[in-house]
Structure 1
Amino acid sequence: MQQPSQPDNETRDKILHTAARLFLERGFAKTKVIDIARAAGITPATMYWHFESKGELLFEYLKANLEEFNARLEAAVSGVEDPVHRLRTIAIAHTAVQLNFRDQAKVVLNMTRASADLIAALPSDKTAEIEDLLRAYLNMVRQTVRLGIESNVFHTPDVNALTFAVVNMCETTPLWFKPEGALSVDEAAAANGEFAVRMATGRGDIT
């Protein structure tokens, strides 16, 4: 059977999301190309028409999701100069993305937190590109924390400690959040926004 002259986006997206689901369920190393092809309802040859390797699949999935995440966060804080409101906005937006796109967030978090697995799965240049995307968001939070310290509204002995406290709080929200629970996504995100501000200011009455 002759392959199409150009890969179609619908099949490509289906392969990406199928692979991501299997990576989450089985782990990257235990997921085989044939498993992805079968689950996506295609042949291995069709999969290789779209992606050169399992590693490329992982890279493209992580890259697309991290670029989308960074774009959403940048849009959320655009024009927000006050460090208190900026930090609150970052925490709210980050939490909302984690909860509204839980499956994608879990795959990205699992693979990027396990740095040894990421290094084993990808060549060094691809690993560096993923790390740059992760670092871009961390730098956004760091810059906000530094601005708050310089403005004398944030009180912390260490910029990185507060940065990672806020980031980790938002990233791990899916571990306790229940869609059928007492809080909606918006309410959970707003709560994290307030917690971030309280950690940074040491006060509970910032509005």
Structure 2
Amino acid sequence: MSDDRRLTAQGQERKDQLLDHAAELFAERGYAETRILDIVKAAGVAKGLFYWYFENKEALFRELVEQNRLRLRRAQAQAIDPTAEPLLQIRQGAEASVRYMASYANFFALLEVENMDKAFADERTKGTEVHRGDVAALIEVGIADGSIRDEPADLLAFGVVGTVGYYGHFHRTGRMPLPVDELAAFVGRWVVCSLASDEQIARRVLAVRLDPEPIPA
């Protein structure tokens, strides 16, 4: 391995350190109360190194949001069988999303709080739009093959995204004290029964046993 590649690997490790410690501090104190100085002290690096990787604190936070969105997509992709019928893929993705949101509850809670002043509303909207688009594409295939109700795909997709998001919110705020796997299975059933074009199809899709996938790091 060349020196350049070693430096690149070391640089990525230091950047990841900053991101990880920032995420912990944001969750503990909130975005506004966390200073760049706090982040570099926690990471054990010089302040100047922060600006080598990030323009400012907002840029770091936005990268954390993007990192979280990509991890969620990986968790969904890992759980979804690309050879399965569309309704089953939607169920797999919904259940994986609920489990992921529970595993990273502190970050999702932080994002909700920061979204209240609209400073990062665009980042949250981006994640929702990507999820909606993925689900809508599967719904269109399901409508075409007759397994999903013939309704506007975008409206049905927003229903799936909203169900996953709100149940995840209720769970992390303590309003739904169920074990996360039970909640994920319930959300999966809810989504299937809401979308299936008839009861027989819903029963067929729900008869498939899903084993929880490990959450990607």
TM range (shorter): 0.7 to 0.9
- The corresponding residue for 1:118 is 120
Cα RMSD after superposing both structures: 3.4
- The corresponding residue for 1:169 is 163
Cα deviation, residue 106, structure 1? 3.3
Cα deviation, residue 200, structure 1? 0.9
Deviations 1:31-61 (A, max 9, x none): 4323433454555334324423112212221
Identity of aligned residues (%): 23
TM-score (norm 2): 0.69
1:146 aligns with 2:145: no
Q: Say whether the 8 Å CA contact 1:88–1:194 is kept in structure 2.
A: yes
- The corresponding residue for 2:203 is 206
**1:201 maps to amino acid:** A
Aligned length: 193
Q: Say whether the 8 Å CA contact 1:66–1:134 is kept in structure 2.
A: no
How many angstroms apart in 2 are the aligned matches of 1:192 and 1:80?
Answer: 22
- The corresponding residue for 1:53 is 56
1:63 aligns with 2:66: yes
**2:18 maps to amino acid:** I
1:189 aligns with 2:191: no
TM-score (norm 1): 0.72
How many angstroms apart in 2 are the aligned matches of 1:109 and 1:144?
Answer: 28
Q: Say whether the 8 Å CA contact 1:91–1:192 is kept in structure 2.
A: yes
How many angstroms apart in 1 are the aligned matches of 2:148 and 2:166?
Answer: 23
Q: What is the DSSP-based 3-state SS (H/G/I as helix, E as strand, rest coil) of the residue aligned with 2:203?
A: coil
- The corresponding residue for 2:77 is 74
Deviations 1:101-128 (A, max 9, x none): 22233345555x5694127xxxxxxx68
How many angstroms apart in 2 are the aligned matches of 1:164 and 1:55?
Answer: 29
- Which of the numbers 7, 16, 20 marks the counterpart of 1:17? 20
- Consecutive unaligned residues of structure 2, counting only runs of 5 or more, are 1-6, 205-217
How many angstroms apart in 1 are the aligned matches of 2:78 and 2:113?
Answer: 25
Q: Say whether the 8 Å CA contact 1:98–1:173 is kept in structure 2.
A: no
